[in-house]
């Protein structure tokens, strides 16, 4: 829950993490997630308002994530937002979660179009081309697993609890790329991704060694995995920049916190004759948060995007405004 001024100034940004209860199950359990949302939403709202030092009369609008995601969790947010909007006569603005991740980068610098966004998170791996504000064209997508999901699954094999991305990233800075895992679809003439083959190759390598009672170097495994991931993400992004020249390149979503990805993209862009400006949100705005929804909502408000009290959560909400 966040209070944001003009889409630029974050007055408060309260994040209630449920990671500890999900760690026990190795991932997000939908029922547990919904229950946490119910328990936390009032406290988070009060805290966000108090920290921002504002009253409901000071607000211009209330925005809420309507999808995609887990329907139970989304419904709690949508219901809370409707209540606030109804009680305080405020416009209601439905926001796509991935639009939020994208606009997290607008806190770094105002967007200039055309813009390319590499969205990398627990459920998405997408290349999105934007010719203007709030105009999203998905030009590349994963055919199977999302990259964050791959991090979490291989992390589990390394004995790292969910979410594993941050720890795998740290471990990857300590080893060598000795395993040479596959880089699926990298040479193919398209902008799509695939991570399930890489994930399987990793898991098979570790299981095979287990059967032989061999112990593999965890840092080398993490380094080799991350090297493959970065080759794929950076390779496809550079390919997209050739067909879609842009002013700015955004990297956003939970995996945008990856230090290896940040470093590698900087290095590769510096080699281009006319590189786009690279916008990556600060770490606390990479993972899920409400300030990013506020930034997107500021633009959506100006575009006239509104919900009414019939607004419903949409767990499979499409992001592409060209096909929606």
Annotated binding site for Fe cation: 97, 101, 288
Among Fe ion, ligand ATP, none, partner that 166 touches (CB below 5 to 8 angstroms by kind): ligand ATP
Among 165, 175, 281, 307, binds ligand ATP (CB under 6 A): 165
* Residue 169 binds to Fe ion (criterion: CB under 5 A): no
| Sole window of 88-96, 202-210, 211-219, 280-288 interacting with Fe ion (rule: CB under 5 A) | 280-288
Contacts of 23 (CB under 8 A, 6+ apart): 161, 162
Between 140 and 253, CB nearer to ligand ATP: 253
* Residue 152 binds to ligand ATP (criterion: CB under 6 A): yes
| Sole window of 27-35, 119-127, 224-232, 268-276 interacting with Fe ion (rule: CB under 5 A) | 119-127
Burial category of 262 from C-beta neighbours within 10 Å (exposed 0-12, middle 13-18, buried 19 and up): middle
Among Fe ion, ligand ATP, none, partner that 37 touches (CB below 5 to 8 angstroms by kind): none
Positions in 230-269 near ligand ATP (CB under 6 A): 253-255, 257-258
In the 8-state DSSP scheme, what is residue 303? Answer: T
Q: What are the DSSP calls for 233-292, one per residue?
A: HHHHHHHHHHHS--SEEEEESGGGG-HHHHHHHHHHHHTSSSPPEEE---GGGTSS-SHH
* Residue 128 binds to ligand ATP (criterion: CB under 6 A): no
- Cα-Cα-Cα-Cα torsion 86, 2, 65, 162, nearest 10 degrees, comes to -140
In the 8-state DSSP scheme, what is residue 142? Answer: B
Q: And the tokens for 183?
A: 């880089």
Among Fe ion, ligand ATP, none, partner that 164 touches (CB below 5 to 8 angstroms by kind): ligand ATP
φ/ψ (deg, to 5) at 126: -140, 145
Among Fe ion, ligand ATP, none, partner that 257 touches (CB below 5 to 8 angstroms by kind): ligand ATP
Between 121 and 125, CB nearer to Fe ion: 121
Residue that has been written with the tokens 């909007």 in this structure = 85
* Residue 288 binds to Fe ion (criterion: CB under 5 A): yes
| Sole window of 6-14, 104-112, 121-129, 295-303 interacting with ligand ATP (rule: CB under 6 A) | 121-129
* Residue 276 binds to ligand ATP (criterion: CB under 6 A): no
Smallest distance, Å, CB 292 to ligand ATP? 10
Positions in 282-311 near ligand ATP (CB under 6 A): 287-288
Positions in 25-44 near ligand ATP (CB under 6 A): none
Smallest distance, Å, CB 258 to ligand ATP? 3
Closest CA to 223 of 160, 170, 264: 170
d(CA 113, CA 212): 54
Smallest distance, Å, CB 229 to Fe ion? 18
Binding residues for substrate: 119-123, 152, 165, 169, 258
Closest CA to 246 of 78, 127, 87: 127
d(CA 248, CA 254): 19
Residue that has been written with the tokens 């080799």 in this structure = 224
Q: Which residues contact ligand ATP (rule: CB under 6 A)?
A: 69, 97, 101, 121-124, 148, 151-152, 163-166, 169, 253-255, 257-258, 287-288
Binding site for Fe ion (CB under 5 A): 121, 288
């Amino acid at each position: 829950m966040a209070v944001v001024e003009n889409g630029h100034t974050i007055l408060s940004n309260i994040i209630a993490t449920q990671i500890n209860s999900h760690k026990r199950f190795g991932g997000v359990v939908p029922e547990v997630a919904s229950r946490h949302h119910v328990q936390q939403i009032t406290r988070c709202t009060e805290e966000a308002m108090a920290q921002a030092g504002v009253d409901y009369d000071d607000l211009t609008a209330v925005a809420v994530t309507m999808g995609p995601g887990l329907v139970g969790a989304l419904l709690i947010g949508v219901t809370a937002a409707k209540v606030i909007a109804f009680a305080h006569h405020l416009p209601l603005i439905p926001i796509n979660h991935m639009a939020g991740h994208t606009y997290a980068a607008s806190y770094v610098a105002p967007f200039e179009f055309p813009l390319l966004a590499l969205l990398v998170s627990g459920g998405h791996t997408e290349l999105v081309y934007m010719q203007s504000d709030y105009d999203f064209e998905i030009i590349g997508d994963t055919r199977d697993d999302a990259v964050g999901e791959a991090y979490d699954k291989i992390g589990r094999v390394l004995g790292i609890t969910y979410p594993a991305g941050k720890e795998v990233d740290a471990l990857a800075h300590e080893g060598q790329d000795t395993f040479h895992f596959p880089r699926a679809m990298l040479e193919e003439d398209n902008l799509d991704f695939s991570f399930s083959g890489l994930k399987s190759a990793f898991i098979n390598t570790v299981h095979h060694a287990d059967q032989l009672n061999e112990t593999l170097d965890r840092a080398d495994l993490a380094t080799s995995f991350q090297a493959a991931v970065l080759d794929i993400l950076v390779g496809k992004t550079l390919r997209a920049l050739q067909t879609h020249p842009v002013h700015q390149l955004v990297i956003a979503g939970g995996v945008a916190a990856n230090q290896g990805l940040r470093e590698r993209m900087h290095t590769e862009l510096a080699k281009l004759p006319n590189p786009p400006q690279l916008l990556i949100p600060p770490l606390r705005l990479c993972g899920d948060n409400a300030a990013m929804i506020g930034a997107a909502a500021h633009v959506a408000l100006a575009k006239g995007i509104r919900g009414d009290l019939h607004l419903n959560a949409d767990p499979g909400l499409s992001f592409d405004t060209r096909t929606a």
